[in-house]
């Protein structure tokens, strides 16, 4: 007897559905894209329980006849193409003919549709992909599809769905992307009885962005418009002063289709270059238009990945377009490029220097900054010397190895005593100990000092803001924040819902400023969105990590010898002074022996 069997149609459809329909957001994406392909100008989406119990999508598109409606739920039935040759000229979002069949295979579906020329419409009721009833019905022009009990007949898939809040957030993200690529369509989205989003549908990208991300974000954007040969790039990008910790605020569209492409993201960040702080991402909604035959969209069932005929040309053109736009904006003085300081280096030095110079030219009495709080510490006498612009040729260096010391029976890590020699490029402290030269990343060192202080606090208090900060979020971010707002309150953020997707920050953890607190909160919300399970412990650590990073001295900030010495003493008192809280090394060393070898001198 043969061991190989041909699967029955129902089983095959369930398996195939798993490639297209992963979660409720997949259903919404496919149904709304069908509405867009049907030339709808108004689309309404309503969900219940994160889409797990009910999804309704209604449009005013062209509608379907009775015969077409029945065929639409057959696998590989489509009105978008008729042969393989059509794949090279695709202008629609859908083309595989799998979406409706896949949705119907794992849910209960009721659909009504009517064309303009028909007196009545048709209603179909399906369960598990099988038509249960078919009736004429009075309805408006267009199509209304109601999907209930998603994965009712696929329990293995259903148990892996997330909470209603997280599934709702995923749907919000899908609708936001579709709204950004179809600004001429009025999209309305309801979660239960609450209207989450409604777009103007007036072909104005900035107004659509303001609706989704808030007017404060829209005000930080500049228009991108570039054309070269058969390639056109349009959209908006943020000024370098607006940035986030993740790439969730960047969206790329190719011929109206949202895609994910790491090459495009790298090209975007390369164009910003030094204008952005390290590991930060700008806001961008970028539409790329090119001939259909030079891009292959038939790569993956979800159509999120494409292949370009000449990818390097696309990437380099995008970088050129973004760079020219930023430079034009800079010449108009719309922004000041470079690193932003909390205080000007000169003002710090004048404020902290006491001016009581002794007769000796090599010593001075001054106040040392307390790097743990920003307050002044005790007066000490320190050596001062003229600093030089130290320049090293490339050579092999090694990370410093911890020295083992003991307090009682407890082994701890400790630094050797480091004598400060100067500062290199206002970013690295140059010091020596015994026969070894040390380079210390001042930002990473201060991050470690602050992290050590904050993590050993028994309780995180809060400071009331004299002027409350307004926080505008996307619909999906609102879901993440609402779900974890109690945890954030325990960590020092006092937040109130202000209606819609707006919140008021009335207090922040007592060791950060209100402006920094707002930025930290934005980054925390990104963490909530990217992680499925967030505990109080992990959230507390993330708050401390972000606050340590925001509060630490920056690269490019000048420090005097007393401040550098004080920072190194505090670093030595931390539990692990050799890497920052993110795991990056703080200190590298170059021994005298290595130097002699470099200069070809004998030991």
The stretch 188-216 carries a mean pLDDT of 92
Better pLDDT: 65 or 356: 65
Please tell me the distance from the alpha carbon of residue 14 to that of residue 154, in angstroms, as a whole number.
8
CATH 3.30.1370.100 fits 362-603, yes or no: yes
- 541 with 535: CB under 8 angstroms? no
Please tell me the distance from the alpha carbon of residue 470 to that of residue 410, in angstroms, as a whole number.
48
| CATH number attached to the domain at 220-331 | 3.30.230.10
Please tell me the distance from the alpha carbon of residue 438 to that of residue 149, in angstroms, as a whole number.
64
Q: How far is it between the farthest Cα atoms of the chain?
A: 105
The stretch 282-311 carries a mean pLDDT of 82
Domain ranges of the chain: 9-202, 220-331, 362-603
Based on its alpha-carbon atoms, the radius of gyration of the chain, rounded to whole angstroms, reads 30
pLDDT tens-digit readout, 470-489: 888 888 888 888 888 888 88
The 3-state DSSP composition of the chain as helix, strand, coil percent (nearest 5) reads 35, 30, 35
Please tell me the distance from the alpha carbon of residue 117 to that of residue 497, in angstroms, as a whole number.
48
State the pLDDT at residue 274: 77
CATH pick for 9-202 out of 3.40.190.10, 3.20.20.220, 3.30.450.20, 3.30.565.10: 3.30.565.10
pLDDT tens-digit readout, 545-593: 888 888 899 889 999 999 999 999 999 988 888 888 887 889 988 888 8
Q: How confident is the model at residue 30 (pLDDT cuts 50, 70, 90)?
A: very high
Give, in order, the Cα–Cα distances in Å from 250 to each of 182, 379, 467, 476, 539.
Answer: 16, 49, 30, 15, 25
Q: Taking each helix axis as running N to C, give the angle between helix 205-213 and helix 164-181, from 0 to 180 degrees, rounded to the nearest 10.
A: 170
State the pLDDT at residue 549: 86
- pTM score, two decimals? 0.65
Sheet containing 130-137, strands listed edge to edge, beginning at the edge strand earlier in sequence: 130-137, 121-127, 108-114, 142-148, 54-59, 42-48, 186-191, 194-198
The stretch 277-299 carries a mean pLDDT of 85
Q: How confident is the model at residue 118 (pLDDT cuts 50, 70, 90)?
A: very high
């Amino acid at each position: 007897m043969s061991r190989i069997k041909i699967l029955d149609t129902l089983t095959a459809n369930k398996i195939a559905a798993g490639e297209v329909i992963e979660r409720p957001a997949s259903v919404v994406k496919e149904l709304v894209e069908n509405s867009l392909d049907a030339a709808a100008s108004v689309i309404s989406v309503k969900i219940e329980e994160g889409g797990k119990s009910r999804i309704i999508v209604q449009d005013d598109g062209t509608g379907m006849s009775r015969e077409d409606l029945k065929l639409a739920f057959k696998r590989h039935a489509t009105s978008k193409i008729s042969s393989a040759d059509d794949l090279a000229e695709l202008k629609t979002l859908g083309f595989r003919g799998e979406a409706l069949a896949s949705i119907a295979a794992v849910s209960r579906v009721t659909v009504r549709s009517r064309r303009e020329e028909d007196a009545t419409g048709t209603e179909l009721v399906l369960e598990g992909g099988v038509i249960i009833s078919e009736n004429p019905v009075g309805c408006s022009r267009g199509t209304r599809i109601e999907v209930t009990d998603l994965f009712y007949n696929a329990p293995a898939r259903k148990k892996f769905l997330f909470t209603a809040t997280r599934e709702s957030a995923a749907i919000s993200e899908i609708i936001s992307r579709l709204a950004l690529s179809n600004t001429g369509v009025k999209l309305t989205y309801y979660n239960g009885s609450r209207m989450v989003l409604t777009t103007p549908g007036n072909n104005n990208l900035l107004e659509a962005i303001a609706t989704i991300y808030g007017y404060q974000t829209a005000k930080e954007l500049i228009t991108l418009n570039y054309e070269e040969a058969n390639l056109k790039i349009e959209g908006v990008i943020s000024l370098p002063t607006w940035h986030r910790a993740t790439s969730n605020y960047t969206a790329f569209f190719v011929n109206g289709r949202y895609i994910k492409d790491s090459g495009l993201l790298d090209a975007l960040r390369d164009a910003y270059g030094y204008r952005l702080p390290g590991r930060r991402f700008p806001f961008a909604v970028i539409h790329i238009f090119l001939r259909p035959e030079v891009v292959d969209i038939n790569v993956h069932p979800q159509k999120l990945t494409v292949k370009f005929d000449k990818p390097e040309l696309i990437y380099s053109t995008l970088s050129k377009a973004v760079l020219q736009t930023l430079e034009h904006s800079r010449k108009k003085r719309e922004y000041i490029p470079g690193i932003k300081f909390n205080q000007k280096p000169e003002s710090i030095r004048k404020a902290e220097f006491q001016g009581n110079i002794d007769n000796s030219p090599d010593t001075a009495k001054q106040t040392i900054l307390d790097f743990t709080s920003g307050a002044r510490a005790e007066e000490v006498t320190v050596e001062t010397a003229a600093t030089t612009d130290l320049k090293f040729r490339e050579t092999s260096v090694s990370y410093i190895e911890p020295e083992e010391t003991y307090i009682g029976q407890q082994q701890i890590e400790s630094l050797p005593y480091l004598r400060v020699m100067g500062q290199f490029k206002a970013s690295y402290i140059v010091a020596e100990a015994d026969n070894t030269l040390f380079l210390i990343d001042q930002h990473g060192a201060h991050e470690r000092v602050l992290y050590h202080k904050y993590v050993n606090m028994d309780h995180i208090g809060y400071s009331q803001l004299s002027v409350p900060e307004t926080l505008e979020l996307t619909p999906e971010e609102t879901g993440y924040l609402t779900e974890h707002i109690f945890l954030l309150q325990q960590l020092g953020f006092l937040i109130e819902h202000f209606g819609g997707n707006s919140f008021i920050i009335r207090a922040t953890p007592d060791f950060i400023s209100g402006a920094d607190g707002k930025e930290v909160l934005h980054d925390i919300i990104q963490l909530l969105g990217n992680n499925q399970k967030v505990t109080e412990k992990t959230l507390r650590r993330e708050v401390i990590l972000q606050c340590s990073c925001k509060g630490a001295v920056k690269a490019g900030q000048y420090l005097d010898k007393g401040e550098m010495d004080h920072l190194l003493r505090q670093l030595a008192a931390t539990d692990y002074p050799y890497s920052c809280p993110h795991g990056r090394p703080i200190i590298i060393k170059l021994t005298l022996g290595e130097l002699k070898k470099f200069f070809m001198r004998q030991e």
